Amino acid sequence: MIEPVWRITWFTIACAAGATLLILPPGVVLAWLLARRKFPGRGLVETFVSLPLVMPPVATGLILLMLLSRRGRVGALLERLGIEVVFTWKAVVLAMAIMGLPLLVRTARAGFEQVNVRYERVAATLGAPPARIFLTISLPLAWPSVLAGAVLAFARALGEFGATIIVAGNIPGATRTLAVAIYGYAETGQDSQAFALLLVSVSIAFVALWTANRLVERSTA
Amino acid sequence: MIDLDIDITQGAFQLSAKVRIEARAAALFGPSGAGKTTILDAIAGLRTPRRGSIAVNGRVLYSSDAGINVPTHQRHVGYVPQDVALFPHMLVRGNLLYGRHPGVSPDLDRVVRMLEIDGLLDRRVTDLSGGERQRVALGRALMSGPSLLLLDEPLAAVDVPLRRRILPYLQRVRDELTVPIVYVSHDREEVDLLADVVVMLEAGRIVSVERLARVELHGPTG
């Protein structure tokens, strides 16, 4: 079955956007904690978050599959709640989220580290509790980096392949993303289909990266 | 009144300070590296002493014996750091109102009139002159309704002519708002014009506490 290009494109963008929104709140808070706080297990958290960056994506996908399948711990629990993740769009979003998280956290963290700690200290002397300092001082001042991190995570999510194919498969109309579809078409010799999707991929990636770079430039200017 | 009895270790630097300050304006005076800013930071809760106690007007802010360490945002101290650190993403008005606590803070109109910054409220802080920044930072600290004002070299960043123009504002704060001031200085003239008490520091030790006779303020008419 040949799916229209626009459907695959739309599905991929929607999943990538969903994944980015999903990781944005926890990722930004994590980035701030790593930049500003010393807490037990900090090094461990730091390493775990970045792990998907260096691990083969296929391995990450396999771990997710083992956790989320019916025989997995999390999967069994979710099944009892009537939630099915594996080989659905939810698995696509999850795989994208986990692969994008390190990029968001690392970029946002660098942004928070650039904020002069004096602003946060002065805010504390003015009576602002930590949560208010985060929302009114740190976040607005680190905003360009947070946004750049989100764009990078989004771009990474768009191209996600390895983890997605393992945990979500290649089901036309259900879990087929741009990357997975390109692979499928190339494998089966449908070159013109593959080429069309390739153009779409390159364009989206270009726009996303260009935007991210402009944002980082603005934040360091 | 401030009761201070603290030991602070900071790398190779050791500070040991025990003093009771009862003054409307007290100067921490001494050469750079004497530990003046370290003391301010400890009072503000930005640096935790190795041991000791800090109390302001009888309220214990820190005590290693009693296990008390009030977080900075609950200490009610207005702190103006040396680089003033106005929030760059807010207008002057936003900076002034950042720490306002209804019922505790002074009236905004009164503060801006006293510091003569009423015309600056809608300006960006990056567009201010050195003297204006200094006064806005002072106003921001005052607007939080502090029970104590900590100023780190309030006049160091501005040139001499400007210094003469900012001093009267500090004197006004001291006399009109009756917020006690502790400030760091290494300028003797500035100390003479503002302080009741001078705490002299050298290499992490208090070498003397001197009470200045303020003739012009304690005269027969004052």
> With helix as H, strand as E and coil as C, how does chain B read?
CEEEEEEEEECCEEEEEEEEECCCEEEEECCCCCCHHHHHHHHHCCCCCCEEEEEECCEEEEECCCCEECCHHHCCEEEECCCCCCCCCCEHHHHHHCCCCCCCCCCHHHHHHHCCCHHHCCCEHHHCCHHHHHHHHHHHHHHCCCCEEEEECCCCCCCHHHHHHHHHHHHHHHHHCCCCEEEEECCHHHHHHHCCEEEEEECCEEEEEEECCCCCCCCCCC
Q: How far is CA B128 from CA B119, B124, B137, B173, in A?
A: 11, 7, 11, 21
CB-based contact B89 A116, cutoff 8 Å:
no
Instruction: Identify the pLDDT of residue A12.
Output: 96
Enter the DSSP assignment of A55. S
Mean pLDDT (chain A, rounded): 92
pLDDT at A144 over 50: yes
Domain count, chain A: 1
Quote the pLDDT of residue B157: 66
| Residue A35, token pair as written in the block | 């930049």
**Chain B positions in Cβ-Cβ contact with residue A125 (cut-off 8 Å):** 44-46, 72-73, 75, 77-79, 99, 141, 144, 150
Residues 6+ away with beta carbon under 8 Å from A66: A72
- Encoded tokens for A89: 């769009």
pLDDT (mean) for A68-88? 89
Better pLDDT: B171 or A97: A97
Convert the pLDDT of each residue in A7-46 to its tens digit: 999 999 999 999 999 999 999 999 999 999 889 999 999 9
| Nearest CA-CA distance, residue B74 and chain A, Å | 6
Q: Give per-residue burial for A136-152: e unless 16+ CB within 10 Å, then b.
A: bbbbebbbbbbbbbbbb
Range of the domain at A200: 5-220
Instruction: Point out the least confidently predicted range of A2-6, A23-27, A127-131, B47-51.
Output: A2-6
| Interval A45-64: pLDDT, tens | 999 999 999 999 999 999 99
Rounded to a whole number, what is the distance in Å from the CA of B133 to chain A's nearest CA?
Answer: 14
**Would you state the pLDDT for residue B218?**
43
pLDDT of residue B175: 86
Task: Locate B133 and state its tokens.
Answer: 């920044």
On chain A, the residues whose CB falls within 8 A of the CB of B81 are: 118, 121-122
Place of tokens 């640096």: B47
- List the single residue in B with minimal CA-CA distance to A131: B73
Of A118, A123, A130, the CB nearest to B98: A123
Set of chain B residues whose Cβ sits within 8 Å of the Cβ of A119: 85, 87-88
Of B41, B47, B77, residue with least CA distance to B180 = B77
What integer pLDDT is reported at residue B156 of this predicted model? 73
Taking the CA of residue A117 and the nearest CA in chain B, the distance in Å comes to: 10
**Of the partner residues B45, B81, B98, the one whose CB lies closest to the CB of residue A118:** B81
- CA nearest to B99 within chain A: A126
Contact B98 A128 (CB under 8 A): yes
Written as tens digits, the pLDDT of chain B (222 aa) is 899 999 999 888 999 999 999 998 999 999 888 999 999 999 999 999 999 999 999 999 999 999 999 999 999 999 999 889 999 999 999 999 999 988 888 899 999 998 889 999 999 999 998 889 999 999 999 999 999 999 998 877 677 777 777 788 888 888 888 889 999 988 888 888 889 999 999 999 999 999 987 645 443 443
Question: Is A129 in contact with B81 (Cβ distance < 8 A)?
Answer: no
Q: In chain A, which among 93-122 make CB contacts under 8 A with chain B? A: 116, 118-119, 121-122
Closest to A172 in 3D by CA, of A65, A87, A62, A68: A87
pLDDT computed for residue A220 by the predictor: 63
Nearest CA in chain A to B96: A126
**pLDDT surpassing 60 at residue A166:** yes
Q: Which chain A residue lies closest to B139 (C-alpha atoms)?
A: A126
Token pair of B81, please?
Answer: 């750091």
CATH number of the domain enclosing A40: 1.10.3720.10
**Smallest CA–CA distance from B143 into chain A, residue:** A126
**Residues of chain A neighbouring B79 (CB-CB closer than 8 A):** 121-122, 125
Q: From chain A, pick out residues whose CB is under 8 angstroms from the CB of B96.
A: none
Average pLDDT over residues A75-96: 92
* B22's tokens: 């009862």
Nearest CA in chain B to A121: B46
Residues A62-82 as b or e (16 or more Cβ within 10 Å = b)? ebbbebbbeebeebeebbeee
Write out the two tokens for A199: 């153009």
Tokens of A218: 């603005």
B88 and A121 within 8 Å at the Cβ level: the answer is no
Q: Which two tokens stand for residue A183?
A: 């692979």
Q: How much is the average pLDDT of A91-96?
A: 96
pLDDT of res. A221: 57
**pLDDT classification of A162: cutoffs 50, 70, 90:** very high
Check CB contact of A141 with chain B, cutoff 8 Å. Answer: yes
A40 has a chain B CB within 8 A of its CB: no
A124 and B45: CB-CB below 8 Å?
yes
Give the pLDDT confidence score for residue B125 in this predicted structure.
Answer: 95
Q: How many CB pairs under 8 A join A and B?
A: 61
Chain B residues within 8 A (CB-CB) of chain A? 44-46, 71-79, 81, 83, 85, 87-89, 98-99, 101, 140-141, 144, 150
Six-digit token string for A138: 């740190």
**More confident site: A111 or B155:** A111
A208 closest CA partner among A145, A142, A143, A158: A158
pLDDT of residue B159: 72
Q: What is the largest CA-CA distance in chain A?
A: 66
User: What local confidence, expressed as pLDDT, does residue A217 receive?
Assistant: 79
